[in-house]
Structure 1
Amino acid sequence: MYLGLDLGTSGVKALLIDAGQGVIGSGHGTLDVSRPHPGWSEQDPLHWIRACEDAIADLKAAHPGQFAAVKGIGLSGQMHGATLLDAADQVLRPCILWNDTRSHVEAAALDADPRFRALTGNIVFPGFTAPKLAWVKNNEPAVFAKVAKVLLPKDFLRLWLTGDYMSEMSDSAGTSWLDVGKRRWSSELLAATSLEEKQMPSLVEGTEKAGALRAELASRWGIAAGTPVAGGAGDNAASACGMGTVGAGHAFVSLGTSGVLFAANAAYLPNPASAVHTFCHALPNTWHQMGVILSATDSLNWLSEITGKGAGELTSELGETLKAPTGVSFLPYLSGERTPHNDSAIRGSFTGLAHESGRPVLTQAVLEGVAFAFRDSLEALKTAGTTLTRVTAVGGGSRSRYWLKAIATALQLPVDIPADGDFGAAFGAARLGLIAATGADPLAVCSAPRTDATIEPDAALGGAFADAYHRYRALYPAIKAVTA
């Protein structure tokens, strides 16, 4: 048996698979996000441990015999979070999360240093880890002076699991401190934020062993002490491992809290000017590019809170048949936006509202707005040299067939729906745990699931969606001009 642990923004998922990669079961622990100021997003790292304990207890209670046979553990986690520890491994402050934009001034200053784009292959985004440390130095100097280790969220869980300070390439590529082409920390970039390599975890590939389970936890959970813990992956790379998106030309669209258009590459192909992320993959000698939307299902969840209707209720009101855009447009920039704008200050909007713009019209506009944001990412990927012929849908939002029809038509690409199963980040993490424990061939393990259905673009609505996308594209500069 092999255990995958996925530390998300809203919770921790524990997934158990057998040697044949069949899913045995899963457990869950919940998390909350603190937003003490506009643009801030934080979590207490100790809550991650509690949620992980809850998820494992949930899984173990349902499958005690299988859980006792765990032989390898893999980790996945939300990326970019700045988890700061002192010399005694005590947490110095709440973790600044991936969707926190407070460090936009520091990010712009670092991005103006040409070494960052040259070595990392990426813009320095406010959500990345390095500008957050610069913000802490500028605003909380007493905390910064005590920083002995900077860990990414999943690697804080690893410290709890194993006692080791270790990370891997895919997650570390999102810090703005990694030389992404050479797959190693850059002492030059660390120094630019007044840090040293000794304050970073050591690095391995995601398929390699990165610590062993501590005896105390092994005894408590009833599994073998010393069980290997894989390097694992950042959440998007872990999802790619779960989906088998590891070969050049393979791609998925992820409708989670954030949205991702992810393409695997066999070579390092940076193009930071496009605002596309170019990161190391979790497998050795592979990379990936992705366009990132900060508020994907978060946009629908926001509308759900406003209307008092569940997200499923909202989408069901639209029916199954894709509708032509109504003229109401939605910009999903509730937390700013990454690809293609790199704008932490921009905010979302509805335009074109009229008396007849009822709740279904607003829901339709939200779904289309996210679909058009994915189209923005597709255009940015093209600029960066990546051409896609189809994508596979993953994430909670992919349960809405209507949304997938809108995305297929907006992208003008077929959208494949995998056969029933759990192929997300926790599954990818479990696969990496299997590889690290057994030495199996990563490409053989990380195979693609069977396609259950394919949603083709709606040819009859292609023109209407193209027109709506052009309106959408014109709104960003107009909104920015009156809100800057």
Structure 2
Amino acid sequence: MNYILGIDLGTSSLKGVVFDDKANFIGSSSASYDVYNPKKGYSEQDPNDWIKAFEKVVDNLNNSLNIKDNLVALSFSGQMHSLVLLDKNSIPLRKAILWNDVRNSKQCDYIMNEFSQDLLCMTNNIALEGFTLPKILWVKENEPKIYENVNKILLPKDYLRYYLTGKFNMDYSDASGTLLLDLKKHKWSDEILDKFEINKECLPDLVNSTDLIGSIREDLKKKYGFKNDVKVFAGAADNSASEIGSGVIGKENSMLLSIGTSGVILYPEKNVHNLYKGKLHFFNSINKNLYYSMGVTLAAGQSLSWFKNNFAKDESFGKLTENIDKISPGSDGLLFTPYLNGERSPYFDSKIRASFIGLDISHTKLHLVRSILEGITFSLKDNFEIINNSLDSKIDNIISTGGGSKNKDWLQIQADIFNKNILTIDIEEGPGLGAAMIAALGMGYYKNLVECSKAFIKYNNLIKPNLENVKIYEKLFKEYRKIYTNTKDICKNLSII
């Protein structure tokens, strides 16, 4: 029996997910690492910690599953945008600057003032603090001695793959999140590189997610005790891997809804277009000819975690959300906007802050909890509406994954607010599943992604919308959408008092 390994290099941990060549789940392991916050707004990681976490995961999987005798292939999912800079000896010059680092607002403003329309035309995205280009410009301006010694610019999973194979590459899904890729031409943009004086030689070769990069180095093969030559395939950005691991590609009239710390609504796109005009993200998918659009709520599950940690520390999430079905839809006139960290799409406003609107003396803790779940879902519907209004066909199903798919009452809220059928996945292994599927496709176990999805992914029963609740939520959503417009100036003024 042959094993394949999906590696998900996330923001807080690295997870390894093992399947056999018949798409049977074998097991998994994870290892955490630190995030460093040396100053307010800074978020960094040591690339060496990713290697240590990988080795710990392999060691755990060897001990529990004896993968060393059966492993034949692996691939990756990785956190997007985070900047890794290597010197001429391929040693990291500094800690990686992560996607959630916001020190580069000045550089974002500069990019948009100098190049906004050209950037949007070539990349289908606008400059935000999370993207890679403004991080590069921050280093260039603030750490010139480090920048002078840059020989390679990579993203996290690309650095780990380099460590395993000795080869430099970046797949299109991650490259499209750097603001350096011309989506239409499928190549690094000479115009952007020239404009911001970035050496093209520092960028790795572009590949599709399923491309074979090489095999694990002979010295590492011996170190880990692998019996076979383990083939290494390029992998994908975490959201693209989630798209693959949810089966939404090839599933007609469906979208992906993923609620973790942040929240994502994602739709597979067949062609490059600019209907969203920068209000949503637009990235490459598993290869250079496939794409997806994506809306993001910054503090989705984090809003619930914030409430729990501050007002119900001793309660589990299960206990906290128990009996929310006893509260009527709309939480008896209470609305919550989940703008605890500002908001990403469709507002792209770092100054906006969260609100409870309509709070009165009759409201209980359970009302607040339900309104938080409703507010997170309303925020994601804000993005859903932009996509849905651009489509010729009707969306029938939403595939719900992440923490938001674990609570039956929240799933019903999702069905009612979106007025769509909600599907969940039987065995959900997140982006790591998508990474394993990429390895399976690379090995030729399946003819195409649709066939691969049928083998790996099984869905649970549909959650259908309650039409009475749908009518209530349609009215409430109209009121919800007024909150941003009517509070943005207040929040901006509060931020400078």
Structure-1-length-normalised TM-score:
0.94
2:226 aligns to what SS in structure 1? coil
- 8 Å CA contact 1:390–1:413 kept in 2: the answer is yes
Q: Equivalences for 1:58-457 in 2 at 5 Å?
A: 58-64=60-66, 66-112=67-113, 113=115, 114-224=117-227, 226-247=229-250, 249-283=253-287, 285-307=289-311, 308=313, 309-319=315-325, 323-385=329-391, 387-418=394-425, 420-438=426-444, 440-443=446-449, 444-447=451-454, 449-457=457-465
The equivalences for 1:38-49 within 5 A come to 38-49=40-51
Matched, 1:51 2:53: yes
**Contact 2:330–2:371 (Cα < 8 Å) also in 1:** no
- Does the 8 Å CA contact 2:10/2:78 hold for their aligned counterparts? yes
Tell me the secondary structure at the aligned position of residue 253 of structure 1.
strand
- Retained in 1: the 8 A contact 2:374–2:413? yes
The 3 A distance-change label for structure 1 pair 212 and 250 is farther
Tell me by how many angstroms 1:175 deviates.
0.7
**1:407 to partner: Cα distance:** 1.6
Distance 1:185 1:97, change over 3 A: same
Q: Contact between 1:210 and 1:230, CA under 8 Å: does it hold in 2?
A: yes
- Identity, in percent, stands at 33
- Residues 271 and 278 of structure 1 are in contact (CA less than 8 Å); yes or no, is this contact kept in structure 2? no
SS across alignment from 1:426: helix
Give the counterpart letter for 1:75 in structure 2.
F
> What is the Cα deviation at residue 147 of structure 1?
2.0
One-letter amino acid of the counterpart of residue 142, structure 1: K
Distance 1:265 1:212, change over 3 A: same
What residue in structure 2 maps to residue 27 of structure 1?
29
Please state if 1:4 is matched with 2:6.
Answer: yes
* Residue 485 (structure 2) pairs with residue 480 (structure 1): no
* 1:378 CA drift (Å): 0.6
| Alpha-carbon shift at residue 50 of structure 1 (Å) | 1.9
Runs of 4 or more, structure 1, over 6 Å off, are: none
The residue identity in structure 1 corresponding to 2:453 is C
Q: What secondary structure is seen at the aligned counterpart in 2 of 1:71?
A: strand
1:230 and 1:432 in contact (8 A); partners too: yes
CA contact (8 A) 2:262 2:302 kept: yes
Contact 1:269 / 1:278 at 8 angstroms: preserved in 2? no
User: Aligned partner of 2:412: which letter?
Assistant: K
Deviation at 1:274, TM superposition (A): 4.8
Q: Which amino acid aligns with 2:369?
A: T
1:229 to partner: Cα distance: 1.0
Question: Alpha-carbon deviation of 1:53?
Answer: 2.0
- Of 326-335 and 391-400, more deviation after overlay is shown by 326-335
1:20 Cα shift?
0.8
Deviation at 1:359, TM superposition (A): 2.3
Contact between 1:23 and 1:422, CA under 8 Å: does it hold in 2? Answer: no
| Superposed CA offset, 1:395-453 (max 9, x none) | 122101122111221111111122x2135211110111122233742322233733211
Q: Which deviates the most, 232-241 or 429-438?
A: 429-438
In the alignment, the residues of structure 2 paired with residue 344 and residue 252 of structure 1 have an alpha-carbon distance, to the nearest angstrom, of 25
Q: Is the 8 A contact 2:208 2:286 kept in 1?
A: yes
Cα distance in 2 for residues equivalent to 1:402 and 1:431: 31
Shift of 1:384: 4.5
SS across alignment from 2:423:
strand
Contact 1:128 1:174 in 2 (8 A): yes
CA deviation string 1:136-194 (max 9, x = no partner): 22222232222221111111111221121111011111111111122221122123332
SS of the equivalent of 2:265 reads strand
Separation (CA, whole Å) in 1 of partners of 2:88 and 2:204: 13
Unaligned runs of 5+ in 2: 493-497
Cα 1:122–1:429 change in 2 (3 A) is same
Give the direction of change, closer, same or farther, for the CA distance of 1:348–1:135 in structure 2 (3 Å limit).
Answer: farther
Segment of structure 1 superposing worse, 201-210 or 328-337: 328-337
Look up the match of 2:495: none
- Aligned 8 A contact 1:29 1:53 in 2: no
Structure 2 residue identity aligned to 1:288:
Y
Looking at structure 2, the residues matched to 148 and 417 of structure 1 have their Cα atoms a distance apart, in angstroms, of 44
Shift in alpha-carbon separation, 1:362–1:280, aligned structure 2, 3 A:
same
How many residue pairs get aligned? The number is 482
CA contact (8 A) 1:68 1:223 kept: yes
Partner Cα separation in structure 2 for residue 369 and residue 38 of structure 1: 27
SS class of match (2:71)? coil
1:100: how far off?
2.3
TM normalised by structure 2 equals 0.91
Change (3 A) 1:179 1:337: same
1:272 CA drift (Å) = 4.5
**For 1:200-222, what per-residue CA distance to the aligned partner results, in whole angstroms no more than 9, with x for missing partners?**
11111001112321122211222
